[in-house]
């Protein structure tokens, strides 16, 4: 058995490393094409490119491992089946599951290693890679003076050549504007020809000018005539510093807050912080809404309101109704005192009297001197004093005051609307960031587990099709990997859009492919011929026979 296990492991490990390297290279090229425009014309050098490719290879490796496992397992068991070695193993009484055992343990160790690699090594590599990409994007293009175009790449200088020869050294009809004097375009150099050389490892540019002139115009004080100078030369040298073209590295600490540069513990802490911010934003909005919105009364306040209604109904007794004439006379007297016609207030007098019953008793006592007709209430102010004339002010409000009230109400409503909109956008942003962090956290688990899922698909499928090499197995592997990749992308987009929680969305591709792998494993144990046309023709004949029997009955 040990010899058999070694044979199977040797036949698997070789294709596994080969296919993983090829898959990493293909995915790396596809990924680096996004930054192709940032590399053009910047003269980065081999060292920078090698460093960048190394870091991004580490970034791509967790995505390439499932594809390498799928292709290598398909090739291994396809070759064993094609060479009738699987049949010999089964004839010796060794089951397929026992044959898969050595590679299964290898994939199990690979899955655990991939998880730790994805959790600790990949964040550090991402920090190096993306900080380097940032510096490359902000690096100036290499020195390239074009024909008939002003070149402003060198600080404080503008250089133009009407003709440039093929040697990239000789220039014709050169014009240079010198802005180092902070005097605008008042210092100009003209030359018939020029030659340029790089010196000290491309740190300086030497420009040798021939047969030219330079012009200098200086402004004078007190509005006098400007001074103009013209000097001719046969040969002149100019030195330019090219330090601005160097690749300046930014501190890596500035990029550490990105989710791609963090491990699971840091991502968990950030997720908790984002959820706490969401709760604080909702609580703040709830407190703010109390300043603008009326809320339902609770049960105790409702009971108190009902008690007030029952108390007011007591004062609406028959005795009070008999004195309606006295109350109407009293309203006429007070109306004549204030010079205001209160006749239209008859419709609201009853609610006022019901709220302030003592005032009704006091009125009758002042008019007729009637005593003892009512139970003596507590002392209260006259009705107009209790109303304080503020409630009447709303009835006789001027148009200007009404406009001011409406403007104040509109301003309050707009402020509340702005607060709601800002809180809504803040909650949407926090939820978006929280889902992205959840995806980054749980993707470290799902990518590692994908190696096991791909093995459960590739090994049984290779035993079924019994074809090795890089032909048919590669086609089937690409199909399943594309499905896995598309399902992963869709699940992440659904999580970001809010349809699915980010902690569960990253597992969708694995959970879809896992039953397929278990189905292939069951069919391989039964020696099913899923890819033989005879198998399906027999199935169709059996179905037609059963259907004809049912139709007879």
- The domain limits of the chain are 2-138+441-552, 157-245
d(CA 353, CA 357): 5
Q: Which helix (H) or strand (E) holds 214?
A: strand 204-218
The per-residue pLDDT for 95 is: 83
d(CA 240, CA 157): 9
DSSP character string of 148-213: TS-B--STTEEEEEEEE-TTSSEEEEEEEEE-TTSSTT-EEEEEEEEEEEEETTTTEEEEEEEEEE
| Contact criterion met (CB below 8 Å) for 255 and 131 | yes
d(CA 493, CA 484): 14
d(CA 106, CA 104): 5
The per-residue pLDDT for 141 is: 63
* Sign of the CA dihedral running 146, 147, 148, 154: positive
| Contact criterion met (CB below 8 Å) for 278 and 434 | yes
Residues 470-485: pLDDT tens digits? 777 788 888 888 899 8
Looking only at the bridges linking them, the beta strands covering 157-164 and 170-178 are antiparallel
d(CA 433, CA 498): 11
pTM: 0.65
Q: What is the dihedral of CA 148, 152, 157, 159, to 10 degrees?
A: -10
The list of the chain residues with pLDDT below 50 reads: 295-323, 326, 329-330, 332-392
Q: Compute CA distances 369 → 24, 157, 328, 364, 429, whole Å.
A: 107, 106, 16, 7, 74
The per-residue pLDDT for 230 is: 82
| DSSP-based three-state secondary structure for 251 | coil
The per-residue pLDDT for 362 is: 41
Residues 6+ apart with CB under 8 A from 553: none
d(CA 52, CA 61): 14
Q: Which helix (H) or strand (E) holds 227?
A: strand 227-241
**Of 40, 45, 48, 50, residue with least CA distance to 141:** 40
Residues 6+ apart with CB under 8 A from 474: 71
The per-residue pLDDT for 3 is: 82
Gap between the terminal Cα atoms of the chain: 56
Q: What is the dihedral of CA 124, 126, 129, 135, to 10 degrees?
A: -100
The per-residue pLDDT for 166 is: 79
| Contact criterion met (CB below 8 Å) for 366 and 359 | no
Q: Dmax of the chain from CA atoms?
A: 129
Residues 6+ apart with CB under 8 A from 410: none
Residues 113-156: pLDDT tens digits? 999 999 999 998 988 888 888 878 767 666 667 788 888 777 78
103-113 burial string, b = 16+ CB within 10 Å, else e? Answer: beebbeebbee
d(CA 506, CA 500): 10
């Amino acid at each position: 058995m040990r010899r058999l296990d070694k044979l199977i492991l040797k036949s698997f490990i070789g294709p596994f490393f080969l296919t993983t390297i090829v898959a990493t290279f293909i995915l790396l090229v596809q990924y680096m094409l996004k930054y192709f425009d940032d590399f053009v014309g910047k003269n980065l050098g081999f060292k920078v490119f090698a460093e960048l490719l190394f870091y991004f290879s580490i970034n791509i490796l967790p995505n390439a491992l499932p594809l390498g496992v799928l292709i290598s397992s398909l090739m291994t068991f396809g070759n064993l089946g094609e060479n009738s070695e699987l049949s010999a193993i089964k004839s010796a009484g060794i089951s397929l599951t026992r044959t898969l055992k050595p590679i299964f343990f290898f994939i199990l160790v690979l899955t655990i290693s991939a998880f730790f690699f994805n959790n600790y090594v990949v964040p550090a590599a991402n920090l190096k890679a993306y900080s380097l990409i940032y510096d490359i994007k902000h690096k100036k293009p290499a020195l390239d003076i074009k024909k008939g175009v002003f070149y402003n790449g060198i600080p404080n200088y503008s250089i133009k050549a009407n003709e440039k020869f093929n040697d990239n050294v000789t220039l014709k009809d050169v014009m240079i504007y010198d802005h180092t004097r902070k005097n605008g375009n008042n210092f100009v150099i003209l030359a018939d020809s020029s030659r340029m050389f790089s010196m000290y490892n491309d740190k300086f540019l030497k420009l040798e000018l021939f047969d030219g002139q330079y012009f200098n115009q200086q402004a004078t004080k007190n509005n006098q005539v400007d001074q103009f100078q013209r000097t001719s030369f046969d040969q002149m040298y100019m030195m330019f510093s090219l330090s601005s073209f160097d690749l300046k590295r930014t501190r890596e600490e500035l990029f550490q807050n990105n989710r791609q540069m963090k491990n699971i513990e840091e991502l968990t802490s950030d997720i908790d912080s984002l959820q706490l911010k969401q709760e604080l934003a909702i609580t703040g909005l709830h407190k703010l809404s109390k300043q603008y919105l009326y809320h339902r009364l609770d049960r105790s306040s409702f009971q108190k309101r009902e008690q007030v209604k029952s108390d007011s109904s007591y004062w609406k007794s028959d005795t009070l109704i008999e004195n309606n004439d006295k109350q109407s006379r009293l309203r006429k007297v007070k109306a004549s005192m204030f010079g205001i016609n209160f006749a239209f207030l008859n419709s609201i007098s009853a609610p006022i009297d019901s709220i302030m019953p003592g005032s009704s008793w006091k009125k009758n006592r002042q008019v007729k001197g009637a005593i003892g007709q009512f139970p003596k209430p507590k002392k209260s102010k006259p009705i107009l004093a209790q109303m304080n004339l503020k409630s009447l002010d709303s009835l006789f409000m001027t148009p200007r005051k009404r406009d001011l009230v409406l403007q104040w109400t509109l301003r309050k409503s707009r402020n509340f609307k702005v607060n709601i909109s800002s809180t809504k956008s803040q909650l949407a942003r926090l939820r978006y960031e929280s889902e992205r962090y959840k995806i980054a956290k749980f993707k470290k688990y799902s990518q590692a587990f994908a190696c096991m899922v791909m093995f459960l698909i590739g090994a049984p499928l290779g035993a079924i099709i019994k074809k090795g090499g890089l032909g048919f197995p590669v086609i089937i592997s690409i199909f399943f990997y594309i499905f896995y990749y598309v399902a992963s992308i869709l699940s992440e987009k659904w999580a970001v859009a809010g349809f699915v929680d980010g902690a569960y969305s990253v597992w969708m591709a694995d959970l879809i492919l896992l039953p397929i792998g278990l189905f292939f494993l069951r069919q391989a144990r039964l020696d099913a011929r899923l890819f033989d046309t005879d198998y399906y023709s027999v199935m169709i004949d059996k179905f037609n026979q059963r259907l004809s029997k049912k139709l007879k009955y």
